[in-house]
Amino acid sequence: MDVQRIPERVVIPSLTGIRGVAAVWVVLCHLGGVCSSVFGIARLQAIPIVASGWSGVDMFFVLSGFVLMRSHSGEFEQLRAQSILRFTKIRIARVYPVSAVVLILIAMLTVDHGFVSCYRQFHPGNFTRMALLKTALLATRWFLPGPKGEWNEPVWSLSAEMLGYAAFPVLAWLLSRRSFVATDSPIRSSTLESCHGTGNSAAEASAFAGRRYDRQSRLNDIQNDSR
């Protein structure tokens, strides 16, 4: 099996519902803040599950990590520059274009000085040149020196994701090294290919190969004892 090829997009219907719950949770959290600050209605924000809606973003991060491991873990059984570069291109192409378009639209709004003044009430560093550079590079949460500020505040989550993407190849490689199944095992290789043919993931194939390897080891032990 050629693990270096770009994997097909993984669609897991059971996760769609979880994403929906997380999205509604985050929206309710923001809605509670708007109702409290703009309309003076604090009842919604006082509900504990609404106030903790920021946890929905954490849920998205967990789901993203799961899907990434399911889709790309087989590419990093060995760390290769080609695999890392391909993974980087795929992830940037997925998150950057929309962010760039939104940033351009916000930049067009900055011709309105009233809009800039209003946004700077939240933080005086907003709409500075350094904030523009950090937002354009999705680097607003990279602990870079310089004054804090935003051009598009929701970019913070994409900035955190970029850090996760940078660490993913090494983390996936370390997790693959923990496997007790030998990399060059003929049992594992044949099982990976057979499971790939049925559409199963590399993680499922590895687990199946491990169980098969254990059974074979026990049979060998029994045969040696009988001798």
DSSP result, 66-116: HHHHHHHGGGGSS--HHHHHHHHHHHHHHHHHHHHHHHHHHHHHTT-HHHH
Q: How far apart are CA 58 and CA 99, in angstroms?
A: 20
Task: Tell me whether residue 13 is in a domain.
Answer: no
* Same-domain check for residues 116 and 158: yes
Cα atoms found within 13 Å of the Cα of residue 188, Cβ hemisphere only: 16
- 77 vs 173: CA distance, rounded Å: 5
Mean residue pLDDT of the chain comes to 77
Q: Are residues 151 and 194 in the same domain?
A: no
pLDDT for the residue 49: 85
Rounded distance between C-alpha atoms, residue 44 and residue 33, angstroms? 8
Same domain, 85 and 161: yes
Q: Examine the pLDDT at 186 and tell me if it is beyond 50.
A: no
- Cα–Cα dist 121/124, whole Å: 7
The residue among 137 and 200 whose pLDDT is bigger is 137
Read off the pLDDT of each residue in 73-95 and give the average, rounded to a whole number. Answer: 91
Q: Domain count of the chain?
A: 2
With respect to residue 224, please indicate whether it lies within any of the assigned structural domains: no
Residue 172 within a domain: yes
In the structure, what pLDDT confidence band is assigned to residue 90 with cuts at 50, 70 and 90? very high
In a domain, 66, yes or no: no
Residue 102 belongs to some domain of the structure: yes
155 and 119 housed in the same domain: yes
Q: Which long-range contacts (CB under 8 A, 24 or more apart) does 6-11 make?
A: 6/86, 6/90, 7/71, 7/72, 7/74, 7/75, 9/71, 10/67, 10/70, 10/71, 10/201
How far CA 213 is from CA of 36, 150, 191, 203, in Å, comes to 59, 53, 10, 15
Whether 98 and 191 have beta carbons less than 8 Å apart is answered as: no
Q: Is residue 105 part of a domain?
A: yes
Residue 172 has pLDDT above 50, yes or no: yes
Structure confidence at residue 1 (pLDDT): 43
Expressed as residue numbers, the domain containing 144 is 75-177
Mean pLDDT of 80-95: 93
Distance CA 174, CA 153 (A): 33
Amino acid occupying residue 75: E
Q: Which residue has the tokens 């060059």?
A: 184
Same domain, 105 and 148: yes
For the chain, how far is it from start to end, CA to CA, in angstroms?
Answer: 38
Residues 127 and 204 grouped into a single domain = no
Is the model's pLDDT at 66 over the cut of 60?
yes
Tokens 């993974």 sit on residue: 87
Residue 139 has pLDDT above 60, yes or no: yes
Q: Give the Cα separation of 111 and 194 in Å (integer).
A: 60
Type of residue at 131: A
Same domain, 157 and 173: yes
Residue 88's pLDDT band (cuts 50, 70, 90): very high
For the segment 30-48, the average pLDDT, to the nearest whole number, is: 79
Asked if the structure places residue 227 within a domain, the reply is no
Q: Say how far apart CA 44 and CA 59 lie, in whole Å.
A: 21
Per-residue confidence (pLDDT) for residue 32, from 0 to 100:
84
Supply the pLDDT for residue 185.
46
CA 113/CA 8 separation, integer angstroms: 47
Do 191 and 112 belong to one domain? no
Q: Is the pLDDT of residue 192 over 80?
A: no
Predicted confidence at residue 36, as pLDDT, reads: 77
